Amino acid sequence: MDTTENTAIIADHISMKFNLAQERTEALKEYVIKKIKRQLHYTEFYALRDVSFSLKKGGSLGIIGRNGSGKSTLLKCIAGVMFPTKGTVTVTGSIAPLIELGAGFDPELTAKENVYLNGAVLGHDRAFMNERFDEIIDFAELWEFVDVPVKNYSSGMYARLGFAIATEIKADVLICDEILSVGDMAFQQKCRKRMEELLSGGTTLLYVGQDPQTVEEMCAEALWLDHGRVREYGDSYKVCGAYMDYLDEIS
Amino acid sequence: MAKSSFRIEGKTALGHFLTYRPLIHELVTRDLKVKYRRSFLGYVWSVLNPLLMMCLQAWVFTVIFKSNIENYPLYLIIGNTLYTFFSESTTISMNSIISNAGLIKKVYIPKFILPISSVVSSLVTTLFSFAAIVIVMIITRAPVHWTILLVWFPLLSMFLFNCGVGMILSGLTVYFRDMQHLYGVVTLALMYATPIFYSIDAMTPEVQFMIRLNPIYHYINLFRCLIMIGGVPGPNTWFACIASATVTMIIGLMVFRKLQKNFLLHI
């Protein structure tokens, strides 16, 4: 594989296998009895099969596919949340995962406190977050509510704060799972603009989307997943086109 | 920027610990803020609660059971405060993985941070409660010995011990939720097996031997020696403290490392 300095993400033949327990055993008693009786049966399920790609620094890759095709599993493997059963993932640089906006917010804490908490989750200390605090609240337009516990926020406000934090810390690699579909139109526009700024500033983007049109606009390359396998991989215009044709065909 | 491959997770526990130290700080601050946010007296409860408990128990055991331990209120409050540190910190860390499921499903963080930061939060509350011990010392006019300066040692041992136990429990609870129900009984049993309101000297030699197998006894005993008697006990006591703590911590790290691989499929 290409391991030169200017590669941000290398996914090398990754497979992800799940054991679907036929009956979930969450009770100790059941587990012991079944273990003794050798009744612990699993059906194997591959969420990802032999997926490989590499993404250059500053590049952008969109992942498309139908529901359950393994898109989110792939993102989680790259974010380091899950470990692939086979294969390796190598990420160079810091990652800001936006798999869900505001993941890790504590509803009881205020916006201000959550900025520091979320920053720490992404590996940054108070001094680092202090420098960026004003920009974060500016972007999220939340100065009025900065001392309100986020449990009282609307879902849009919640998402705005999450997006502002994740993009303001300027990580090397940004991992997004359909986040551009949240918030009102004005905010979506603002997010898109911010993403474009980041991309031109050298951030690497990995984007998952249902909508091939957005992927085509945002990303230079695309990868089409079908039942955990790579169906097509390459120039986003070409791959998204093929995917749209496929969607027309099945509907 | 550092090159990170997620497959080496666990091997660089110390490295992770340093990068994510701010996270421990933030998680502890969060725990403390949330714990007292809606209460009128706030942090005062950390001092008031052990005092009230001690008064109740002191009354029960001196008036009803006629205990004859010297400076019984001080004896009680030390035992109670330290035992509460153990039971509270391990109970919170037991649930730490499950209650932060939303976080670890979405973002990569070293998972052992969660049980550890629970124990740190509990340690901070315990340090507040030490004010209650000082108050009791003043009221009972207990003499102050220089050995009080050494109390960090049993406290540190207990901290390591709690971290080890917390990691094991938090890992197991992900797979078997039964732990949550069972552990309440275990902490109660351990409380009776620890000389908190009685003295080990009043027991038969067989029972004394059993009690000495309980690491918590050694932490509390050393703590009491340092504050109440003012003597430095022999090397056995110190060794029992640090050895039990280190071994538990190492076992905890090993067990947790093995269990964490499949957390995500079970939470």
Domains of chain A, start order: 61-83+92-250 (3.40.50.300)
d(CA B23, CA A124): 8
Contacts of B4 in chain A (CB under 8 A): 80, 91-92
From chain B residues 72-131, the ones with a CB under 8 A of any chain A CB are 102-109
Nearest CB partner across the interface for B23, out of A97, A121, A172: A121
Lowest mean pLDDT among A156-160, A211-215, B11-15: B11-15
d(CA B35, CA A46): 43
Between B228 and A169, the higher pLDDT residue: B228
Q: Which residues pair with A98 in a beta bridge?
A: A176
Give the nearest chain A residue to B22 (CA atoms): A125
pLDDT of residue A40: 63
Lowest mean pLDDT among A196-200, B11-15, B214-218: B11-15
Whether pLDDT at A170 is above 70: yes
Residue B217 neighbours by CB under 8 Å, 6+ apart: B194, B195, B200, B211
On average, the pLDDT of chain B sits at 87
pLDDT of residue B4: 37
Q: How far is A248 from chain B (nearest CA, A)?
A: 33
Contact A89 B176 (CB under 8 A): no
- Distances, alpha carbon B136 to alpha carbons B64, B82, B217, in Å: 21, 15, 21
Whether pLDDT at A99 is above 50: yes
Confidence grade of residue A26 (pLDDT, cut at 50, 70, 90): low
pLDDT of residue A109: 87
Contacts of B3 in chain A (CB under 8 A): 90, 92
Confidence grade of residue A179 (pLDDT, cut at 50, 70, 90): low
Contact B22 A119 (CB under 8 A): yes
Residue B153 neighbours by CB under 8 Å, 6+ apart: B222, B238, B241, B242
pLDDT in tens, B216-252: 999 999 999 999 988 888 899 999 999 999 999 999 9
Six token digits for residue B250: 């190492």
Contact B107 A81 (CB under 8 A): yes
Whether pLDDT at B131 is above 80: yes
Instruction: Give B7's DSSP letter.
Output: G
Six token digits for residue A70: 């393994």
Q: How far is A2 from chain B (nearest CA, A)?
A: 15
On average, the pLDDT of chain A sits at 83
Nearest CB partner across the interface for A80, out of B6, B176, B265: B6
3-state helix, strand and coil shares in percent for chain B, rounded to the nearest 5? 80, 0, 20
Whether pLDDT at B5 is above 70: no
Confidence grade of residue B89 (pLDDT, cut at 50, 70, 90): very high
d(CA A13, CA A49): 8
What is the ipTM score, two decimals? 0.77
pLDDT of residue A41: 66
Whether pLDDT at B8 is above 70: no
DSSP assignment of B125-180:
HHHHHHHHHHHHHHHTTPPPPGGGGGTHHHHHHHHHHHHHHHHHHHHHHHH-THHH
Whether pLDDT at B11 is above 50: no
Confidence grade of residue A39 (pLDDT, cut at 50, 70, 90): low
Q: How far is A216 from chain B (nearest CA, A)?
A: 25
Nearest CB partner across the interface for A103, out of B30, B103, B178: B103
Lowest mean pLDDT among A13-17, A42-46, A137-141, B176-180: A42-46
Tell me what percent of the residues of chain B surpass a pLDDT of 90.
51
* Mean of pLDDT values over B154-182: 94
pLDDT of residue A43: 75
Q: How far is B6 from chain A (nearest CA, A)?
A: 6
Q: Are B109 and B23 in contact (CB under 8 A)?
A: yes
Tell me what percent of the residues of chain B surpass a pLDDT of 70.
94
Instruction: Report the 10 Å Cβ neighbour count for A131.
Output: 11
Whether pLDDT at A1 is above 50: no
pLDDT of residue B56: 87
Contact B1 A172 (CB under 8 A): yes
Amino acid at A39: Q
Contacts of B264 in chain A (CB under 8 A): 76, 81-82
Q: How far is B177 from chain A (nearest CA, A)?
A: 6
pLDDT in tens, A126-165: 999 999 999 999 988 889 999 998 889 888 888 888 888 8
pLDDT of residue A202: 86
Confidence grade of residue A214 (pLDDT, cut at 50, 70, 90): confident
* A83 reaches B (C-beta below 8 A): yes
pLDDT of residue A57: 87
* A120 reaches B (C-beta below 8 A): yes
Between A92 and B195, the higher pLDDT residue: B195
Among A106, A128, A129, A203, which would you mutate to test the B interface (most chain B Cβ atoms within 10 Å of its Cβ)? A106
Nearest CB partner across the interface for B22, out of A19, A27, A124: A124
Whether pLDDT at B155 is above 90: yes
Contact A120 B261 (CB under 8 A): no
| Cα B213 off chain centre by | 17
* Mean of pLDDT values over A23-29: 64
Amino acid at A33: I
Contact B23 A80 (CB under 8 A): no
Whether pLDDT at B86 is above 90: yes
Tell me what percent of the residues of chain A surpass a pLDDT of 70.
90
Whether pLDDT at B169 is above 90: yes
* A100 reaches B (C-beta below 8 A): yes
Contacts of A109 in chain B (CB under 8 A): 30, 33-34
* B181 reaches A (C-beta below 8 A): no
Residue A220 neighbours by CB under 8 Å, 6+ apart: A59, A60, A61, A235, A236
pLDDT of residue B165: 97
**Number of cross-chain residue pairs from A and B with Cβ atoms under 8 Å apart:** 104
Contacts of B103 in chain A (CB under 8 A): 103-104, 121
Give the nearest chain A residue to B2 (CA atoms): A93
Confidence grade of residue A173 (pLDDT, cut at 50, 70, 90): confident
Report how far apart the first and last C-alpha atoms of chain A are (Å, whole number): 38
